[in-house]
Structure 1
Amino acid sequence: MLATAATGVAVAEPSPRSAEPIAWEACGDYGGECATIKVPIDYAKPEEGSLDLAIGRLKALNPAKRAGVLIVHPGGPGASGINPFILRNAIPAESALRQNFDLVSLDPRGVGRSNPVQCDLDVVEQAPATYPANEGEYQAWLAYNAKLSQNCRERTGPVFDHVDTTSATRDVDSIRAALGERQISFFAISYGTQVGQQYAELFPGNLRAMAIDSNMDHSITSAFRYLQTTTDDFEGSAKAFATWCGQTQACPLNGQDAMAVWDGLHRRATAGTLKDPQTGEPITAEQLRVFLFDGMYDPAGSWFDVATTVKALADGNAAKLRTTATPKAETVNYAYPAIWCSDWKWQVSGFQELDQYRKRLEALYPHTKLSPFWSDVMSCLNWQGTVSNPQHRLDVSGTGPTLLPKSRHDVGTPKAWNYAVAAQLPKTRVLEYDGVGHGQYRNSVCARTHIETYLTSLKLPPSGARCAPEYPSQPPASVRAAEERPLSATGRPLH
């Protein structure tokens, strides 16, 4: 239900406080607690049924300095917040956030323990793997999207039609109410930032503080603009990687033109002549781009691995591109397209329009050609679910300041998206990280310090504050690829 604030902006009424205390239980071996709360499947018709929303908590390690509850959204869409990675590994014990807040996360509706979106694995595995090259492939994509969405709805039940971000945002306020908190603080990276943005829009008075790191821009309506912005930061990230290699003696490609080596591999992959030295199987241009794209999220954890692999392939030696294991089950939790396509509707007239997009982008970005996030557009064409939360510009008032950290080049949430969100949110302080990467809390000690200072003390960094790049100079001490991020069930990267 909506109420009208003094400003005239329609805002959602706060969720009523829960009449029953939350029944917390020990969860895992990392000191966390888990519970479930009842939330409506459809907030517009709460009498028609509810789902059990799974939540997790790590209580403040320093209760004397407790600053309240910090909701940490797991992002994705499709990531689980109830596991050691999100709360223990992503926010370590020595962090001021861990010390001063009860950290609360969740499995968002449709994910993990919260009525997961289920689809037949054999249907998921039929997903087309490449951007359509002709009318036949385009029509195959449309037919597949209809088949997948119908299958997932049948397997999942009523929740399938209510996994949009507006519903997920209302769930966050239901958690606040169940905890008995008047206000919450909110922190998220990537897709979780859209939840935070919409929370500020719907429940501005319930926010104590918000830091949203690496932002989605849900106001984009042009499919080409979406593809162009993602590819722009992919190209910029790849060039920064090549520059780093030239300046870093320990980089396996140091002394070579790393960009030229990459271009040569990509030409061979496009021609079908790049083979896996171990299996003899072709490595496609799409597989190669996904590998490079994935490595741009976390330079400290990935760039030496990327350089090692690129050199090995160029030299004809064995190299392993990142893949995802196939689950051994009849059905699979595949929330990404169900959530994504509840939020995004693309007006694409047909194959000819899409093909023009590809040609324009390949001319603009000769090294990386096309971001793998083309699938964010393709997967929603002819999707049979309801677009219940379509793109819109934010309409926010009545909130305190928001801290918005961003990087110079971010393949997951490009710089253009962050600047657009900052323009839509009042009282936003942008924190610039001058390096490459996605999730500046992880990539930059400087950014992490500013985020923790703001959330704990409400002290923003100075206007115009910048953080210098923090790139590795030596390989990791142990073999460690990028921080594990969720992949879709088809192996495509998520936000």
Structure 2
Amino acid sequence: MSAALFGLASPFAAGCSDAGGEGGERAGSSGDALVRETLAGPGAQDIAWQECGTTYKGECATIRVPVDWDHPEGETFELAIGRVKALEPQNRIGVLLVNPGGPGASGIDRYTIGRRITDDSLLRKRFDIVTWDPRGVARSHPVQCDKELLGQAPSTYPKTQQEYKNLLAYNTKLGADCRARTGPLFDHVDTVSTVRDLDAIRAALGEETISFLGWSYGTQVGQQYAELFPQRVRAMTIDSNMDHSNFSAYEYMRSATEDFEESFYAFADWCDRTPACSLHGQDVVQVWDTLHRRAAAGKLIDPQTGKPLDDESLRGNLFSPMYDPARWFTLADRLASLQSGVRSARAVTESEELEENSYQAIWCEDWSWRVGGFHELDSYRRSLAANYPHTKLSRFWSDITACLGWPAKIVNRQHRLSIHGTPTILIVTGRHDVATPHSWNTAVADQIDDSVFLAYDGVGHGQYFHSPCVRDHIETYLTTLKTPAPNTHCPAVWPTTPASTLASEPNDSPRRPVHTP
């Protein structure tokens, strides 16, 4: 997408659209007047807050926003928002909007009904923390698809031309089903529409500016909000960044697989120096490679289920704990259990309901992958397996294959950021991050002139939750606007004792990974 479309002279210009390429591109801004006209009322007093949650008491409400922001006079739907008020109202700075990522994660579940930002946080004391379920997600008109059809998904790793054709045909059929069951919103769940919803929330709250904290896919929401509404940003922290300027399907996968491989090496090194690790004293790399060969040959039996575990599912067992090293004790238990054939008390399984399919719907309106066919896709897989011999392939391979044949228009194509007129933006990254690789974060920093880069020297995703040092820098910046010094690094934090209960990934039907901490 051209910088001109996002570099509007005013962040409050009227919305516009430009058709071009596959499905066209959409950009523009929803001025304050337009936003207020499409809401139920003109200001904060019109939001009907009600108590929600059981363990924690937050407030929930809805506002009405257009299904299609390019036609705000048309159909609307209710967007769910949540709030927890500042614990120190006398020291209240303002509103902090938080987005957990995904795409498809519920902000209300995590930050209103749940408390991922804990009460001892400076952010809880000084801000009203406001979040929302983005359009197409949870309480905000979720993208709904036939559960049985979702359960019929073919492998995202086609091994033949026919399997490739079957995958594309399935994606087309599934997308048509989701559109029929969801209605017009299905074609308007892209990130630009979510960004406009975010500004509608700001207007409804009666706030001139907001502070923003986003993780993972939530960083893309923040980045594009800063493009469209730079004058509405008081402060912004984006932690574990998506790079929406990445046009190459192969490079996307290469960088993701590289951080997967390096995260695995970090796990093996940690186990070697941690006596409490179940595989301590063994060659962890060799243990893993042996298990992977057995799984690929159909000879690895999962002692938890008594069924064979294939290599794709096995990599899923390895991949998810790389989001958070606190799960490494359970991962080691899991691998030791597979090695010995004996059930592990901690390596439990969990089940999953499959009705909502917001991730695929949102993702495939934001990303255009030009894959020339089965042989090109297969060459990616073979090249990655050769370059990263232990982990082979990031599970985010499905970010590409899920969109091949998907019937929705791509309305928010990849583009380089064009951000002007914001305060300094704080960018946070980890040394190795399987969900948003380090190289994506450096690419984003290169695209935002007025930014400060904070590096965490450990492994994981969503560094605010892994490092007290990172958390202190983020909270200091958001409350005082004081940024860390250039080239600031926070030391790695490694787990020393096992957590009491941690669940492994499902073993029979690995779900699509998500860009969320």
Quick check: 1:22 aligned with 2:22? no
Q: Deviations over 1:299-319 (max 9, x none)?
A: 02x000001111111122125
SS state at 2:166 partner = helix
Aligned to 1:119, the other structure's residue is in SS state coil
In structure 1, C-alpha distance between the alignment counterparts of 2:245 and 2:407, rounded to whole Å:
22
- In 2: Cα distance, 1:404 partner to 1:87 partner: 27
Equivalent residue number for residue 491 of structure 2: 468
Relative distance call for 1:226 and 1:117 in structure 2 (3 A) is same
Deviations 1:287-346 (A, max 9, x none): 01011000100102x00000111111112212586755243xxx8121111000000111
User: Given that residues 41 and 159 in structure 1 are in contact (C-alpha distance below 8 angstroms), is that contact kept between their aligned partners in structure 2?
Assistant: yes
Indicate the residue corresponding to 1:416 in structure 2.
439
Matched, 1:207 2:233: yes
Query: Using the alignment, how far apart are the partners of 2:266 and 2:233 within structure 1?
Result: 37
Distance 1:295 1:278, change over 3 A: closer
1:411 partner SS: coil
Deviation string, structure 1 residues 47-71 (Cα, Å, up to 9, x no partner): 1111100000000000111110000
Residues 424 and 86 of structure 1, relative CA distance in 2, 3 Å threshold: farther
Q: Distance in 2 between matches of 1:89 and 1:289?
A: 30
> Counterparts of 1:190-201 in structure 2 under 5 Å?
190-201=216-227
Q: How far off its partner does 1:250 sit?
A: 1.2
- 1:245 and 2:271 are equivalent in the alignment: yes
Q: Which runs of 5+ in 1 are unaligned?
A: none
Is the aligned partner of 1:72 residue 2:107? no
Gaps of 5+ in 2: 14-26
- TM-score, normalised via structure 2 length: 0.90
Moved more, 270-279 or 27-36: 270-279
Question: What is the Cα deviation at residue 87 of structure 1?
Answer: 6.5
Counterpart position of 1:351: 374
The AA in structure 2 aligned to 1:306 is L
In the TM superposition, 1:272-283 aligns within 5 A as: 272-283=298-309
Contact 1:176 1:183 in 2 (8 A): yes
Are the aligned partners of 1:290 and 1:492 in contact in 2 as well (CA < 8 Å)? no
Q: 1:117 to 1:324 in 2, by over 3 A?
A: farther
Q: So what's the TM-score if we normalise by structure 1?
A: 0.94
Counterpart of 2:29?
Answer: 12
Tell me how far apart the structure 2 counterparts of residues 151 and 351 of structure 1 sit (CA, whole Å). Answer: 25
**Match for residue 312 of structure 1?**
337
When residues 399 and 335 of structure 1 are mapped into structure 2, their CA distance, relative to the original with a 3 A threshold, is: same
Letter in 1 for 2:29: A
Q: How many residues align?
A: 486
Contact 2:360 2:402 in 1 (8 A): yes
SS at 1:118 equivalent = coil
Aligned to 1:340: 363
Instruction: State the Cα distance separating 1:384 from its structure 2 match.
Output: 0.3
1:393 aligns with 2:416: yes
2:470 aligns with: 447
Distance in 2 (alpha carbons) for counterparts of 1:223 and 1:129: 18
CA 1:83–1:308: 2 relative to 1, 3 Å: same
Task: Report the CA distance between 1:2 and its aligned residue.
Answer: 8.4
Shift of 1:86: 6.0
Helix, strand or coil: the match of 2:295? helix
Task: Specify the code of the residue in structure 1 equivalent to 2:93.
Answer: A
> Identity over aligned residues, as a percent?
55
- Contact 1:14-1:173 within 8 A present in 2 as well: no
Q: Is 2:386 the counterpart of 1:363? A: yes
1:188 aligned residue: 214
Correspondence 1:438 to 2:464 = no
Distance 1:412 1:127 in 2: 22
CA contact (8 A) 2:97 2:213 kept: yes
- Kept in 1: contact 2:8–2:228 (CA 8 A): no
Asked if the contact 2:53–2:113 (Cα under 8 Å) also holds between the matched residues in 1, the reply is no
Question: 1:358 Cα shift?
Answer: 0.7
Q: 2:133 touches 2:140 (CA, 8 Å); kept in 1?
A: yes
Aligned CA distance change for structure 1 residues 195 and 59 (closer, same or farther; 3 Å): same
Partner Cα distance (1:105, 1:76) in 2: 14
Alignment-mate amino acid for residue 239 of structure 2: D
Cα distance in 2, alignment partners of residues 212 and 104 from structure 1: 16
Secondary structure, counterpart of 2:137 in structure 1: coil
**1:480 paired residue number:** 502
- Residue of structure 1 in register with 2:513 after alignment: 493
Is 1:290 aligned to 2:309, yes or no? no
Q: Distance in 1 between matches of 2:438 and 2:7?
A: 34
Q: 2:305 & 2:454 partners in 1: Cα distance?
A: 46
Question: Structure 1 residue 279: deviation in Å?
Answer: 3.9
Which aligned pairs between 1:208-247 and structure 2 lie closer than 5 A? 208-247=234-273
What is the CA distance between 1:15 and its match in structure 2? 3.0
Residues 1:323 and 1:412: Cα distance change in structure 2 (over 3 Å) = farther
Say what the alpha-carbon RMSD is for the aligned residues: 2.2
Q: 1:490 to 1:311 in 2, by over 3 A?
A: closer
Q: Give the Cα separation in 2 of the matches to 1:316 and 1:134.
A: 32
| Separation of aligned partners in 2, 1:246 and 1:118 | 46
Distance 2:181 2:231 in 1: 38
Q: Report deviation, 1:480.
A: 3.0
- Equivalent residue for 2:450? 427
Q: Secondary structure of the equivalent of 1:43?
A: coil
Matched residue type, 1:316: G
User: How has the CA–CA distance of structure 1 residues 4 and 235 changed in structure 2, closer, same or farther, with 3 Å as cutoff?
Assistant: closer
